[in-house]
């Protein structure tokens, strides 16, 4: 598949009520193992990529090294590759963000997770500013002729110490603004209450994606809630080979144990 085919295929895989399961890769070898296990697409994890190279998460890995790893993954497998690009490795400079996205696209990536957390600061970008940043990403992708899947991540429910129920209103405001700016999906890591996940799925026009972690509803329940994407996270990374016996992660990890 060429890059256009991969981008189209990845978008097609996001169907409400039929979640796409994405396991995180951290290098070409892990990506190949995921591919060989029957995956339909490959995702990277900024945490796993950084830790595997001796860095901490939070855009501390040199971007050139992160790009090299992405390039190796894309060159190794013939599947859509979406990249956890944190906040864009740009320090809130739109020109730098555009350049970083352009290089990522030139490597063959067809999707990114792009978060509204101020990675090297505190709190979140306000809604207007994050929408501007998403628009910069979309404009850069359009200039490159790639229908980039921008998975707009909000960290409202992760590490902010906020009440989940009281944050839903702002989450919906962010989803609306991000969609208008060019986002393709809405990613809500940290949200665990099924009724709140359901409310977002019902209210947001974009595919809604969740991070699988302790306390998140079961796969069957997420299907009922019309979730479009499940991103398997800490159970699959280079520092933690453990997964519950008999689980999907366990069967997957067994491919290279």
Cα–Cα dist 60/111, whole Å: 21
The count of structural domains within the chain is 1
Task: Report pLDDT digits (tens) over 109-129.
Answer: 999 999 999 999 999 999 999
Beta strands of 69-190 (E only): which ranges?
81-84, 111-115, 149-153, 185-187
What does residue 99 show for φ and ψ, rounded to 5 degrees? -65, -40
For 190, the domain range is: 3-253
Structural tokens at position 9: 């295929």
Task: Report pLDDT digits (tens) over 154-196.
Answer: 999 998 888 889 999 999 999 999 999 999 999 999 999 999 9
Q: Cα Rg for the chain, rounded, in angstroms?
A: 17
What CATH number does residue 140 fall under?
3.20.20.60
The pLDDT of residue 231: 62
Q: Kindly report the pTM of this predicted structure.
A: 0.90
Cα–Cα dist 165/223, whole Å: 21
């Amino acid at each position: 598949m060429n890059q256009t085919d991969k981008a189209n295929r990845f978008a097609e895989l996001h169907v409400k009520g039929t979640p796409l399961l994405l396991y995180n890769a951290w290098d070409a070898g892990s990506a190949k193992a995921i591919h060989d296990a029957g995956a339909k697409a490959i995702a990277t994890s900024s945490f796993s990529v950084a830790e595997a190279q001796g860095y901490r998460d939070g855009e501390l890995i040199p971007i050139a090294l992160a790009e090299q790893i992405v390039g190796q993954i894309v060159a190794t497998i013939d599947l859509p590759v979406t990249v956890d690009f944190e906040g864009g490795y740009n320090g809130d400079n739109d020109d730098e963000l555009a350049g970083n996205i352009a290089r990522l696209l030139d490597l063959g990536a067809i999707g990114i997770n792009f978060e509204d957390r101020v990675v090297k600061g505190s709190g979140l970008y306000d809604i207007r500013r994050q929408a501007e940043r998403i628009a910069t990403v979309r404009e850069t992708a359009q200039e490159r002729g790639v229908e980039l899947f921008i998975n707009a991540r909000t960290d409202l429910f992760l590490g902010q110490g906020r009440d989940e129920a009281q944050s839903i209103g702002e989450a919906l405001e962010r989803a609306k603004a991000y969609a208008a700016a060019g986002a393709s999906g809405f990613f809500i890591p940290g949200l665990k209450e099924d009724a709140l996940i359901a409310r977002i799925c019902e209210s947001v026009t974009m595919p809604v994606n969740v991070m699988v972690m302790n306390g998140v509803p079961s796969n069957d329940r997420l299907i009922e809630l019309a979730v479009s994407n499940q991103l398997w996270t800490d159970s699959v990374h280079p520092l933690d080979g453990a997964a519950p016996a008999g689980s999907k992660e366990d069967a997957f990890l067994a491919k290279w144990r």
